[in-house]
Amino acid sequence: MDVSARRAFNLLKELAYVRVSGTEAEKKAAERLLEEVKSCGVEARIEEFTVKAGKVNKATLKVTKPYVKEYEVTGYERSLSTPEGGLDAEFYYAENLLPVHLQNCKGKIVLINGRLRRTDYEKLQQAGAAAILTFSGTTLDRISETDCDIRKLREMLTDELGFNVALNMRAADAAEIVRRSATEMHIEVESECFDATSRNVCAVIPGKEFPEEIISFGAHYDSVHFSTGVYDNMSGSVIIMELMRYFAAHQPARTLKFNWYGSEEQGLLGSKAWVEAHKDELDKHMLMVNVDVAAATLGSNYAPVLATEGVVGYVDAMMKEAGIPCKVELDIYSSDCIPFADQGVPAINLCRFGPQGAGYIHDRRDNLRSGYLDEKALDITLQQGLMLAKRLDSAKVFPIERKISDDIKKKVDEYLFKKK
């Protein structure tokens, strides 16, 4: 049996629905992936893990001075609720949170630019903001064609820094509020926090020559709100399914594991849980190959490597030898490779990025109707993955040193906010 981009793309079409962490839809996708694995006669199971989840039942924002107008907002999942009757406070636009801004945040509803990064959240908590406002999208967005993004106060923020009230709004509305010099507003948030279950789908094909040497292939199958996640990352999920089919029919020399991770979009929670649950076998893991985003018709191939310059040279040479154009670089990648590299397992990512205007991610445009993905483009990464997998699996001596360069270690630590 050979790999088939058509079959892969058909499975992608079947799973082209919103699959947010800890939801029924994510569970349904996991079950479908498991069924597909089992239909190839491969041993597999679902491994559950708990995620901190939240639901916002009500979120409103009304400017009360010097004019009165209500704006569309979404509450961050796991936001604090406002007191009974809501919260009335002064509004302050703190831009990029410079010291001058921070001096003015206390007790106010504070709007900032961009995403709520951990460093920003820390500053806002210390400055005593009464509530946090972020905006998403662009000032050009048409309401009928865009969504007001739903975000989450991740554990990464709340565990150490505590909870706060957090809301998100549209960029055009945020601009209007600032332009019209809003000074006071009324907000209401009713939010619940709870534990939810997310899942990794895990398959194993034992090796016949070097069963103690493990190569794992990974791809996350969850999506964010409003996004059907066909590009990010059902494309990668169906690619590793094809690789698994190939090795189900051609027994590998080494033990190959195939993992479809849940909850990647919430902070790599699936791969973190997997690594934690499989700690005792990690010293046998020679390499992790992660596929996250592919199938973009207009695009380019990129392979960030979390290992050493030696591995970069090796992968780069293999791509050239096979005539596959691919930019190979020593760098981290914000995906499930991180928890592996953190445990000393080298990782290679295979990605095909759509360029600006033809690579939509993390919103409703990541959808088959957007016309930016196709099976021929998916085949590029599929063939790349197959070439890499066959070469590595059949190597007489495993060619990748089990080592992570100091530069990558440092970047991984920073990514995971590890204290020095």
Say if CB 47 and CB 171 are below 8 A apart.
Answer: no
**Among the residue ranges 77-85, 144-152, 284-292, 392-400, the one whose residues contact Zn ion (CB under 5 A):** 284-292
Member of 120, 222, 232, 242 binding Zn ion (CB under 5 A): 232
The reply on whether position 366 binds Zn ion by CB under 5 A is no
Phi-psi region of 86 (alpha: psi -120 to 50; beta: other; left: phi over 0): left
CA separation for the pair 330, 322 (Å, rounded):
20
Strand partners, 344: none
CA separation for the pair 387, 289 (Å, rounded):
12
Separation of first and last alpha carbons in the chain: 49
CA 344 from centre of chain? 21
Q: How far is the CB of 335 from Zn ion (least distance, A)?
A: 6
Q: How far is the CB of 200 from Zn ion (least distance, A)?
A: 15
Evaluate the omega torsion of the peptide bond into residue 66 and state whether it is cis, within 30 degrees of 0: yes
Member of 233, 235, 259, 367 binding Zn ion (CB under 5 A): 233
The reply on whether position 336 binds Zn ion by CB under 5 A is no
Q: Binders of Zn ion: how many residues, by CB under 5 A?
A: 3
Q: Which is nearer to Zn ion, 121 or 231 (CB)?
A: 231
**Among the residue ranges 228-236, 255-263, 311-319, 376-384, the one whose residues contact Zn ion (CB under 5 A):** 228-236
Q: Which is nearer to Zn ion, 233 or 381 (CB)?
A: 233
Member of 26, 36, 292, 393 binding Zn ion (CB under 5 A): 292
Q: How far is the CB of 125 from Zn ion (least distance, A)?
A: 28
Residue 114 tokens read as: 């961009």
Q: How far is the CB of 321 from Zn ion (least distance, A)?
A: 28
CA separation for the pair 414, 329 (Å, rounded):
19
**H/E stretch holding 203:** strand 184-205
What backbone torsions phi and psi does residue 383 show, to the nearest 5 degrees? -65, -35
CA separation for the pair 256, 378 (Å, rounded):
22
Q: How far is the CB of 222 from Zn ion (least distance, A)?
A: 9
**Among the residue ranges 179-187, 192-200, 285-293, 296-304, the one whose residues contact Zn ion (CB under 5 A):** 285-293
Residue 135 tokens read as: 């905006």
Q: How far is the CB of 233 from Zn ion (least distance, A)?
A: 4
Q: How far is the CB of 40 from Zn ion (least distance, A)?
A: 24
Q: Which is nearer to Zn ion, 228 or 233 (CB)?
A: 233
Q: Which is nearer to Zn ion, 137 or 229 (CB)?
A: 229
Q: Which is nearer to Zn ion, 186 or 272 (CB)?
A: 272
CB burial of 347-360 (b: ≥16 within 10 Å; e: otherwise) equals: bbbbbbbbeeeebb
Residues that bind Zn ion (CB under 5 A): 232-233, 292
